[in-house]
């Protein structure tokens, strides 16, 4: 995208998980044209009026945005409007140009935050929430912006947020793990690994809340509005950001592959997804800069896996394997959810079109088979689940060797 970050992004030390600890919910009145459109997005999309409203939007300056949180909120609003604008017609009426009044401020803000100008996971999950009551928690959570789909849409974003929040203890344990490796603290290391395993198990439990909120047809609809314009048959050249670039640009859409938490645990546990490593590396460019730096610092540090293997300690091996096993189980559950709420509804959609005597529109087929991040998502999910399982089998084999010797 345009350049490097010019904003001092809050330290990860401020919160034990990667979610934003305090959310800005309002912008100065000057930005009411953005906030009003974003707040009414479901209605405008369903009525096929969004593109008309965007055409009326004035070109606003970004100079009145103050601080990181206002920038994140403005980017969130413009990101939702952008995705709705591009995919208002599903796969049938794609656009080639993002209007100047939307493209220019969106790209300017994205440059300041060192993020690409497309809605990413860190926007729609980590920054898209608020509390109705400042003293409440889960029962008081709500989202700031949405696409058509009602409560199912809300549930998808909030459950994803709760999954991230459940990882807090595991993220908090990482500095303890690194310090234990450096100082050969086997007891503290084993305890910290137990914290990581427990937090990943809690992520899976939080994921189960999806069944309370979701309806398969609405989840598939949300999947459509998160679709990328990179490696996408429907937008082979990408999207022109009017007033910013003369040629089209291609960017991946938001997906769980951009979860800083999941990639952090992969790096911590030394899990190498050989078939998907290049793609996952690319996804780090879609994370906030502070998250990328955290993961890179962890990757350049001492290897937890090699340390555990070198000790030959049965307790450490067991604690390590519980972490890997929990992560594999989480990914298996993700596959189950994706099958129930995206793959099966997409198949029903195609079947219904055929029963009505019409051919299946190619756009529907493409959007149902590819993830929002541009991958063949079921193949991708199964690949990373399988490599996670192999990492567990690998360390078990070495442990058996130690026992034999």
Q: Where are the chain's structural domains?
A: 29-403
Are residues 231 and 376 in contact, defined by beta-carbon separation less than 8 angstroms? no
Q: Print burial letters for 347-358: b (CB count within 10 Å at least 16), e (below 16).
A: eebbeeeeeeee
Q: Alpha-carbon distance 122 to 157, whole Å?
A: 11
Q: How many residues does the chain have?
A: 405
CATH number corresponding to 29-403: 1.20.58.480
For the annotated binding site, the residues are 334
Are residues 223 and 89 in contact, defined by beta-carbon separation less than 8 angstroms? no
pTM of the predicted protein model: 0.86
**Environment class of residue 139 by beta-carbon count within 10 Å: exposed (0-12), middle (13-18) or buried (19+)?**
exposed
For the annotated binding site for heme b, the residues are 334
Q: Kindly report the CA angle at 249 between 246 and 251, in degrees rounded to 5?
A: 160
Q: Alpha-carbon distance 138 to 152, whole Å?
A: 16
* CB atoms closer than 10 angstroms to residue 73: 26
pLDDT tens digits for the chain (405 residues)? 433 333 333 333 434 567 666 678 999 999 999 999 999 999 999 999 999 999 999 999 999 999 999 999 999 999 999 999 999 987 777 899 999 999 999 999 999 999 999 999 999 999 999 988 766 555 688 999 999 887 778 888 999 999 999 999 999 999 999 999 999 999 999 999 999 999 999 999 999 998 887 665 555 566 678 888 998 888 999 999 999 999 999 999 998 899 999 999 999 999 999 878 889 999 999 999 999 999 999 999 999 999 999 999 999 999 999 999 999 999 999 999 988 887 787 667 666 556 655 444 444 444 445 544 445 778 889 999 999 998 876 555 555 544 444
3-class state of residue 251 by DSSP: coil
**Token output for 23:** 């959310």
């Amino acid at each position: 995208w345009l350049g490097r970050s010019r904003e001092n992004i809050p330290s990860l030390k401020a919160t034990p998980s990667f979610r934003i600890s305090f959310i800005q919910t309002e912008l100065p009145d000057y930005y009411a044209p953005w906030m009003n459109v974003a707040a009414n997005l479901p209605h405008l999309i369903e009525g096929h009026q969004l593109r008309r409203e965007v055409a009326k939007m004035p070109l606003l300056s970004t100079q009145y945005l103050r601080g990181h949180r206002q920038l994140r909120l403005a980017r969130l609003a413009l990101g939702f409007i952008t995705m709705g604008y591009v995919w208002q017609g599903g796969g049938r009426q794609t656009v080639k140009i993002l209007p100047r009044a939307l493209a220019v401020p969106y790209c300017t803000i994205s440059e300041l935050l060192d993020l690409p100008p497309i809605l990413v996971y860190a926007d729609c999950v980590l920054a898209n929430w608020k509390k109705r009551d400042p003293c409440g928690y889960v029962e008081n959570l709500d989202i700031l912006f949405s696409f058509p789909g009602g409560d199912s849409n809300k549930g998808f974003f909030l459950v994803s947020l709760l999954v991230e929040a459940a990882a807090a203890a595991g993220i908090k344990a990482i500095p303890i793990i690194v310090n234990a490796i450096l100082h050969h603290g086997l007891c503290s290391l084993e305890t910290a690994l137990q914290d990581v395993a427990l937090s990943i198990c809690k992520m899976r439990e939080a994921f189960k809340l999806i069944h309370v909120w979701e309806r398969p047809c609405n989840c598939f609809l949300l999947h459509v509005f998160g679709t990328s314009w990179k490696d996408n048959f429907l937008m082979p050249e990408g999207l022109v950001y009017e007033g910013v670039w003369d040629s089209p640009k291609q960017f991946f859409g938001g997906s769980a592959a951009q979860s800083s938490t999941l990639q952090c645990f992969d790096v911590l546990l030394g899990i190498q997804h050989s078939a998907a490593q290049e793609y996952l590396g690319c996804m780090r460019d879609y994370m906030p800069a502070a998250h990328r730096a955290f993961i890179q610092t962890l990757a350049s540090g001492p290897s937890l896996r090699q340390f555990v293997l070198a000790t030959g300690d049965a307790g450490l091996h067991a604690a390590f394997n519980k972490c890997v096993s929990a992560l594999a189980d989480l990914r298996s559950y993700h596959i189950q959810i994706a099958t129930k709420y995206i793959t099966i509804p997409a198949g029903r959609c195609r079947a219904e079109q055929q029963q009505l005597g019409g051919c299946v529109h190619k756009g529907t087929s493409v959007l149902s088979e590819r993830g929002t991040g541009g991958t063949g998502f079921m193949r991708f999910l199964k690949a990373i689940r399988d490599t996670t399982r192999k990492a567990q089998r690998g360390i078990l084999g070495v442990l058996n060797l130690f026992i034999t010797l």
